[in-house]
Structure 1
Amino acid sequence: MANFGELVLVLGDLHIPQRAGSIPEKFKRMLVPNKMQHVICTGNLGCKEQYEELRELAPNVHVVTGDFEYESPASSAAGDKKTDPSSAMNAGILGTSAISIMTGDTEPTAEHEEEDGALHALPTMPSFPDTKVVQVGHFRIGVVHGHQIVPWGDHMSLAMVRRKLDVDILISGHTHKNEVVEHDGCYHINPGSITGAYSSLSDEEVTPSFILLAVQGSKVVCYVYELVNGEVDVSKTEFTKSMSTGV
């Protein structure tokens, strides 16, 4: 029996239903409830229903607040939405084995409002924190949406947040572009947008993506899932924490 350790689904920037109708069907079929132990979301869910769907996937769901939240799908459908703030401020062969982790084919073991496009709270949803730290295996994992980072997506700035949170891995979003980057012996991970929601940061088409972390003690296997030309493409990165040096 294959043992993948603790599985952590990492996703974000859904923007449902404002910028995207739903998670792509090929991704949905892979997100089998109770196959993962954790879900980490970088924010911008879009509506309460998406939060409830995440809660059905795993017993531990960790969400941070995004920069572009909505009151409800109804208010958005009526055209009542805020200006985007970004305009202001392993086992086996890669692919088959990685996808089977998700499908189960293998057996892995408050309310506030500001003018000019600032945050608008979701009154029917929990109040999510700006940052969060999660312990998985030997890793401390920090989570932040990323709109607070200046310049956006800059790894020197992300490293400052990582050191402040005292974590081995920093997960962020906002750019709608997935990344797995080693920086100063630690890792910065961005799952991109699982829906492929458009980003005002770029004119390029956004590739739908999410990440799965398989954590075994001091080792992480990081699977990046992308939907390219209608097909799921998977890439893999492995890294190990040095137990002697820590963060």
Structure 2
Amino acid sequence: MLVVVSDSHRETGTGLEGRTLDAVREADVVAHAGDFVTEDALDAFHDAASRLHAVHGNADRPAVKERLPTARSFSYADVSVAMTHRQRGGGMGLALFGRERDADLVVSGHTHRPRVADADGLTLLNPGSHADPRGNRPGHAELEPTDGGLEGRLVSPDGTVAETFHVPTDERGDAR
């Protein structure tokens, strides 16, 4: 399972609780789309996750920014993932960012608002914030490999599934 989180905004620890904590511990890969804030928070995520892919956000302190890139790409279950904290131009900027990286799934943060959108076959995912939702529903995303791509869900720390979505693959088995 791929678990996606963002915008922890912590001085210490991860801020993980309930289903979000369980999901991070169970995940094959955890993707964090930035704004840990401190090195202690980043290190706590490294301790909690078996494998962590992360980028820095705008609120991260210089020591965190020195350790993490602004953007990164990785593959999970034959799905190409491009990740950044934020991209100017909103959805259009994120779609361009993903297409430039030949991605199937674009992960971002910054808004603290959980959201999944389709941009002409490219899935845009913002998991929201599990620890600092700022008036939005707290959350994270869980994505499971299937024969047809990835089945995803936006989940609250209490375990409530707010939305489900699908990241498809084409006939060759490549994600699309």
TM-score normalised by the chain length of structure 1:
0.63
Say whether the 8 Å CA contact 1:196–1:209 is kept in structure 2: no
Q: 1:50 to 1:31 in 2, by over 3 A?
A: farther
Pair 1:129-2:69 in alignment? yes
CA offset digits 1:68-92 (Å, max 9, x no partner): 113xxxxxxxxxxxxxxxxxxxxxx
Pair 1:165-2:156 in alignment? no
What is the deviation of 1:181?
1.1
1:122 aligned partner, one-letter code: A
What is the deviation of 1:64?
0.5
- Partner of residue 121, structure 2: 185
- Partner of residue 144, structure 2: 214
1:226 aligned partner, one-letter code: S
What is the deviation of 1:17?
3.2
Structure 1 spans left out of the alignment, 5+ residues: 1-6, 71-120, 199-204
Pair 1:57-2:51 in alignment? no
- Give the alignment of 1:70-219 within 5 angstroms: 70=61, 121-122=62-63, 127-146=67-86, 149-151=87-89, 154-198=90-134, 205-216=135-146, 218-219=148-149
For 1:172 and 1:32, locate their aligned partners in 2 and report how far apart those are by CA, in whole Å: 17
- Partner of residue 17, structure 2: 25
Pair 1:237-2:173 in alignment? no
SS in 2 for 1:194: coil
Pair 1:67-2:67 in alignment? no
What is the deviation of 1:182?
1.4
What is the deviation of 1:54?
1.8
What is the deviation of 1:217?
5.4
* Structure showing the higher helix proportion among its residues: 2
Say whether the 8 Å CA contact 1:39–1:57 is kept in structure 2: no
Say whether the 8 Å CA contact 2:168–2:175 is kept in structure 1: no
Q: 1:219 to 1:122 in 2, by over 3 A?
A: same
SS in 2 for 1:55: helix
SS in 2 for 1:175: coil
SS in 1 for 2:96: helix
Say whether the 8 Å CA contact 1:196–1:207 is kept in structure 2: no
Q: Which 4+ runs in 1 deviate beyond 3 A?
A: 243-247
For 1:60 and 1:29, locate their aligned partners in 2 and report how far apart those are by CA, in whole Å: 14
What is the deviation of 1:246?
5.8
Say whether the 8 Å CA contact 2:80–2:175 is kept in structure 1: no
* Structure showing the higher strand proportion among its residues: 2
Say whether the 8 Å CA contact 1:14–1:45 is kept in structure 2: yes
Structure 2 spans left out of the alignment, 5+ residues: none
For 2:91 and 2:146, locate their aligned partners in 1 and report how far apart those are by CA, in whole Å: 26
Pair 1:8-2:2 in alignment? yes
